[in-house]
Amino acid sequence: MRKPINLNRFDFISLRLFVVTVEAGSLTLGAERFGISLAAASKRIAELEAHVRSTLLERSKRGVVPTAAGQTLLRHAIDLIAGVEQLALVMDDFHHGAGGHLRIWANASAIAGFLPELLAAYAAAHPAVMIDLEDATSEEAARTVASGAAELAIIGANTPATGLQTFVCDVDELVLIVPLAHPLSREAEVHICEALALDIVGMNRSTSLMRQIAEAANAAGRSLKIRVQVRGFDAMCRMVSAGIGAAILPRAAAAPHLRSMGLRGVRLVGMRTERPLLLVMRDRQLLSAPAKAFVELVEQRVKSG
């Protein structure tokens, strides 16, 4: 008769280490991110493999990848860790007397665009709920929801969100931002090829916005000449105002800076200028009450147009 695995011997710390190691692709990096020595990490992984009676990681000079058994353990370990993290957060809320906690990660387009007004409406309707907003790249936000550290995220639609539930929560338009003194500021519209002939002020190339712009450049057979990279839309507009280059930004994100910085947003043609954003979650049915209320508010906004 097959002896079942002893549930009482599962070590939560080792499970978290295993998830971190797989995400890092290296036991050395996993140990470093987890804050323990490589020897201690190796011992924990070996004990976990012995406990589940399966090899969980394939090791090579390039790092580690999960085996078939490791992939199965990974899926369940992520769910388990997410559940425990949510439990800890909820109990912490009760300890501090909050009427719930809304944890949401969002990319720069959302934070500079529609999200502040929406959160203001949410805060007015739910004054006892604490709001925890994290500014992050779309990829970071999606990973955080997948790991269970946050219930909701707003990401660019061109960001992988495998295994997550999503729906479009906002659509903006990309425009070319130039100084008022620039010749193109007098045009009603500018073709993407003409825009790409300019030096571009951008963000990190890994962001969903810059990937969308790079895809448009590739489709047009042009290279993207990034003159300088900065972290936020405000900084991008300041660089454009100083004459360093032009920028391609969501219209709503650029709007607050146009008049004060002497800029103009010019319509772009020859590329897909729609900038859709997605609200993502692991499972709507399992969301906390504050998160469900936020999702419903987003849906009302989308329906009202």
**Confidence at residue 298, expressed as pLDDT on a 0 to 100 scale:** 97
Residue 237 has pLDDT above 70, yes or no: yes
What's the pLDDT band for 84 if we cut at 50, 70, 90? confident
**Confidence at residue 121, expressed as pLDDT on a 0 to 100 scale:** 96
**Confidence at residue 82, expressed as pLDDT on a 0 to 100 scale:** 74
Selecting from 3.90.420.10, 1.10.3720.10, 1.25.40.420, 1.10.10.10, what CATH number does the domain 7-81 have? Answer: 1.10.10.10
How high is the mean pLDDT of the chain? 90
**Confidence at residue 278, expressed as pLDDT on a 0 to 100 scale:** 98
For 168-220, the DSSP string reads EEEEEEEEEEEETTSGGGG-SEEEHHHHHTS-EEE--TTSHHHHHHHHHHHHT
Number of H helices, E strands in the chain: 12, 12
Residue 96 has pLDDT above 60, yes or no: no
Residue 218 has pLDDT above 80, yes or no: yes
For tokens 């990660």, name the residue: 105
Residue 247 has pLDDT above 70, yes or no: yes
Q: What is the number of alpha carbons within 13 Å of residue 111 lying toward its C-beta? A: 17
Q: Where are the domains of the chain?
A: 7-81, 97-169+276-304, 171-275
Least confidently predicted of 52-61, 88-97, 269-278: 88-97
**Confidence at residue 95, expressed as pLDDT on a 0 to 100 scale:** 57
**Confidence at residue 90, expressed as pLDDT on a 0 to 100 scale:** 66
**pLDDT top residue among 91 and 187:** 187
Fold classification of 171-275 (topology level): D-Maltodextrin-Binding Protein; domain 2 (3.40.190)
Entry pTM: 0.72
**Confidence at residue 165, expressed as pLDDT on a 0 to 100 scale:** 96
Q: What does the pLDDT average to over 272-280?
A: 96
Residue 87 has pLDDT above 80, yes or no: no
**Confidence at residue 161, expressed as pLDDT on a 0 to 100 scale:** 93
**Confidence at residue 185, expressed as pLDDT on a 0 to 100 scale:** 96
Residue 187 has pLDDT above 90, yes or no: yes
Q: What does the pLDDT average to over 68-83?
A: 84
Residue 93 has pLDDT above 70, yes or no: no
Query: What CA–CA distance (Å, rounded) separates 147 from 168?
Result: 21
**Confidence at residue 9, expressed as pLDDT on a 0 to 100 scale:** 76
What's the pLDDT band for 221 if we cut at 50, 70, 90? very high
- Residue 45: Cβ within 10 Å count: 21
**Confidence at residue 99, expressed as pLDDT on a 0 to 100 scale:** 58
Q: Which superfamily is assigned to 97-169+276-304 in CATH?
A: Periplasmic binding protein-like II (3.40.190.10)
Q: What does the pLDDT average to over 236-249?
A: 96
Looking at the chain, how many residues does it have? Answer: 305
Instruction: Please determine whether the domains at 97-169+276-304 and 171-275 fall in the same fold group of CATH.
Output: yes
**Confidence at residue 81, expressed as pLDDT on a 0 to 100 scale:** 79
